[in-house]
Amino acid sequence: MDPEAKAPRSVRDELLLAAVGLLDEHGPDALQTRRVATAAGTSTMAVYTHFGGMPDLIAAVADYGLAQFDLALDVPDTDDPVADLLTCGGAYRHFAIRRPHLYRLMFGSTSAAGVRAPARDIQTGEPERDLHPSLIHLVRLVRRCITAGRMRGDATDNREVMTIAGQFWAMTHGFVMLELAGFFGDDGAAVGPVLGGLGMHVLLDLGDEPAALQASAVAAQLRA
């Protein structure tokens, strides 16, 4: 459950949200026991009482971020699954750009207080269960695209669906990380020609028709 939705909030919730706020505003170096406790209006002992220490609090921050990411990627379904897939990709990037420190922590590409968020091995999960939230959405959307005849493949073959979803995941995450690092500037100008262009090539290679794909791209752009 989202601790921000609780009223009144518990001390644990206050600590978690204080840590999230510090991370968003100041980056991972701000996740220190005293700073979190002060921001939450409590004592440093509360961090140990409710989390056992900063490593578990940092893990809870990452879990909070994953839950928020899940909500951000839950785009409404339309009768065009390819447009929905492209829209999900846009929502993915928007979250990362809006909350870069949280995004990096969620994926283990940065650490706070020398602690990295626990990694998740997607190979041990099953589609629609126990997977990284961003991959869960992609698996579902890829399955819809295959079922609708917009991609080649067998929608009942979990390994094939996971492989295709993993391709889109790697493509989007790779672009986002490069953008966050400043390699594509800070104005979003590379999104269309680089990420969008690559996505179009992948979808065509997977069997979509050019005219249908173009229509889906326009529909997704109108929803952005």
Hey, what domains does the chain have and what are their CATH numbers?
A: 3-63 (1.10.10.60), 73-223 (no CATH)
Higher-pLDDT residue of 118 and 147 is: 147
Task: Supply the pLDDT for residue 34.
Answer: 97
Q: Is the dihedral of CA 115, 116, 117, 118 positive or negative?
A: negative
Residues in the chain: 224
pTM for the model: 0.89
Band of residue 88 on the pLDDT scale cut at 50, 70, 90: very high
Answer for the pair 128, 136: CB distance below 8 angstroms, yes or no.
Answer: yes
pLDDT of 2 reads 60
Q: Of 201, 195, 203, which Cα lies nearest the Cα of 146? A: 203
Quick: pLDDT tens for 37-53: 999 999 999 999 999 99
- Report the pLDDT value the prediction gives residue 87, as an integer from 0 to 100: 97
- Residue 124, pLDDT > 70, answer no
Give the separation between CA 187 and CA 185, rounded to whole angstroms.
6
Q: What is the mean pLDDT of residues 56-84?
A: 95
Mention every residue, 6+ apart, whose C-beta is less than 8 A from residue 153. Answer: 146, 160, 161, 164, 206
Query: pLDDT grade, residue 132 (50/70/90)?
Result: confident
Q: State the SS3 of 120-187.
A: CCHHHCECCECCCHHHHHHHHHHHHHHHCCCCCCCCCCHHHHHHHHHHHHHHHHHHHHHHHCCCCCCC
Instruction: Inform me whether the pLDDT recorded for 103 exceeds 80.
Output: yes
Please, what is the average pLDDT of the chain? 91
Q: Token pair for residue 142? A: 């890829």
Q: How confident is the model at residue 134 (pLDDT cuts 50, 70, 90)?
A: confident
Give Cβ neighbours of residue 84 (< 8 Å, ≥ 6 apart). 75, 76, 77, 78, 141, 144, 220
Determine contact, residues 144/86, Cβ cutoff 8 Å: no
* pLDDT over threshold 90, residue 20: yes
